[in-house]
Structure 1
């Protein structure tokens, strides 16, 4: 705590700097006093998240310490509060005010209103699924800056103030959304890894992944490969299954459970919740990409390498789906271009192409 007698202009400049850096802080204003305290009504100070006090609320050190402590608590929970500091706390105690003892020898009484100022929450929703779009519509009622990643989102039924990104490059998404957003990934396997990777790059305090217990670890491994980090680093950043358990089944219900968890996370200044919902495999499979979107045992269907068909189509080496090369995502490996049904499959192949090519090589040798 470092109290000073900054002028109103100095405090205004410091406040602008904190806002520019998107750092939370609290405004503390003296609203009542009884002598012999040196503060006057209207004196004010700013308190940063680490407890530094700038401004003037009187020269009483114990009062300054109490205001700094309560300001930090207000920053943490986002709730304003009125506190009173007096020799006899019972004498000023009343509804709406929290009273504390004046422990300094100078005595006197102070009442201080503390108002936290926290940066606007950024919400990044990744996916073109009904769940993702429903979440965007519901979250529009909150005070958040919302960004949706959806290549087909330009014509989606979402609020007009939503920023829509059509890029699927993780670095571009992270740069566009800014630092420390709350992230929900609900592309149903189509480009989950891209969304999670963007959240990791943006240092998101919460990355909720709508996925089954089978697909979630596959996505984590895929992201680890894309970012060239350890899977545990990604896994620790991801909450999956995402959402509060309300026995949701439809897209709007699942979106509601996600929004409830986001509100809880925001109330705890971005710390991820400890309680996690049970998976909803029916919902996560709806409209899912084949790359991890199905919980089918992989041993029952070994995919072949990409090959041209008679009609000019191609076969996805990850999931064995037939795709149109003119519209499909592609990866070039050792001079050969492979085509995929979605970016999820492409990312799986890009992370470890030999895993899928070895299957075909082995099958070919066994058939000779």
Structure 2
């Protein structure tokens, strides 16, 4: 997969609402297998598609990309020996020493790409249709539904069933634990719905999450203006970072990390070498071979993170 194919796949992931990080080589110093313009996608599941560099660069980029997804902030990495750059490293750049096999270096920009906001509007009223159209014009993934089953923990859910089984719709929406649940209706109607759900055993802390009436309070306005008021509230919540970044999926049992005793890199534990009862993992075959030539020379170093 070359650079342009990576961008096409990135667009497809974005359309599907999946979080990923886009890594791009912006500078290189040979010898290095990574070239300027090389790109790769790192998914939330930790899969890498594309090409960034060899055995030393790839695990570092994977690790940093997963962290960028968790934090929701881009980062610029300098992969190489810090001795090569002295005090000329720009402020804000993260230096990751890579000292095994190659004297090359890479500068990699990692950009986390979060899914566009997801809005589920439960109901079929004219206001519901207008709200979906307005959200779509902002590039949001918006859908009309009879049930909030499609909602996730990062979704906005607006219940606009206009008295038709409001209670069931709100209860199902809360079960999905979305970032926002709003009920379109008067405060009196909202109090009746929440009171009914409380009698059915829905927890008070969950009921407190329901915004009723949904949207900014504009008084008595038309259904189009109600849709604008609701969308304005959702935009305000999003701007205030009310929705956490889509975190990278981690599997602690499968991604235990260790320090390569030869070069000092942090690596994922795979097929470790056991020496005097301790396990040692390596970034590449070269470091592994170097260790096996004289284990005692490296075994005194800390092996676990």
Shorter-chain TM band: 0.5 to 0.7
Q: Are residue 208 (structure 1) and residue 181 (structure 2) matched? A: yes
Q: Are residue 115 (structure 1) and residue 111 (structure 2) matched? A: yes
Q: How does 1:45-194 map to 2 (within 5 A)?
A: 45-59=40-54, 61=56, 63-76=57-70, 80-86=74-80, 87=82, 88=85, 90-93=87-90, 98-105=93-100, 106-126=102-122, 136=132, 139-148=135-144, 169-170=146-147, 174=149, 178=150, 180=152, 181-186=155-160, 191-194=165-168
Q: Secondary structure at the match of 2:211?
A: coil
Which is higher, the Rg of structure 1 or of structure 2? 1
Deviation (angstroms), 1:60: 5.2
CA contact (8 A) 1:84 1:110 kept: yes
Q: Are residue 220 (structure 1) and residue 181 (structure 2) matched? A: no
Distance 1:73 1:128, change over 3 A: same
Distance 1:207 1:235, change over 3 A: farther
Q: 1:205-263 deviations in whole A, cap 9, x for unaligned?
A: 324134758446335348xx6xxxx624x9648722369998x4535556523431245
CA contact (8 A) 1:43 1:56 kept: yes
CA distance in 2, matches of 1:107, 1:17: 36
CA distance in 1, matches of 2:173, 2:111: 30
Matching residue within 31, 35, 54 for 2:26:
31
Name 1:240's counterpart in structure 2.
Answer: 210
Distance 1:255 1:100, change over 3 A: same
CA contact (8 A) 2:25 2:108 kept: yes
Q: Are residue 199 (structure 1) and residue 173 (structure 2) matched? A: yes
Count of residues in correspondence between the two structures: 230
CA contact (8 A) 1:44 1:55 kept: yes
Unmatched segments (≥5 aa) in structure 1 = 1-5, 149-164, 272-368
Deviation (angstroms), 1:144: 0.8
Deviation (angstroms), 1:85: 3.3
Query: Whose RCO is larger (CA < 8 A, sep 6+)?
Result: 2
Distance 1:77 1:101, change over 3 A: closer
Distance 1:266 1:19, change over 3 A: same
Q: 1:276-315 deviations in whole A, cap 9, x for unaligned?
A: xxxxxxxxxxxxxxxxxxxxxxxxxxxxxxxxxxxxxxxx
Unmatched segments (≥5 aa) in structure 2 = 220-225, 248-305
Q: Are residue 261 (structure 1) and residue 237 (structure 2) matched? A: yes
Deviation (angstroms), 1:79: 5.1
Q: Secondary structure at the match of 1:71?
A: helix
Query: What TM-score do the two structures reach when normalised by structure 2?
Result: 0.54
CA distance in 1, matches of 2:142, 2:127: 15
Q: Secondary structure at the match of 1:231?
A: coil
CA distance in 1, matches of 2:15, 2:231: 32
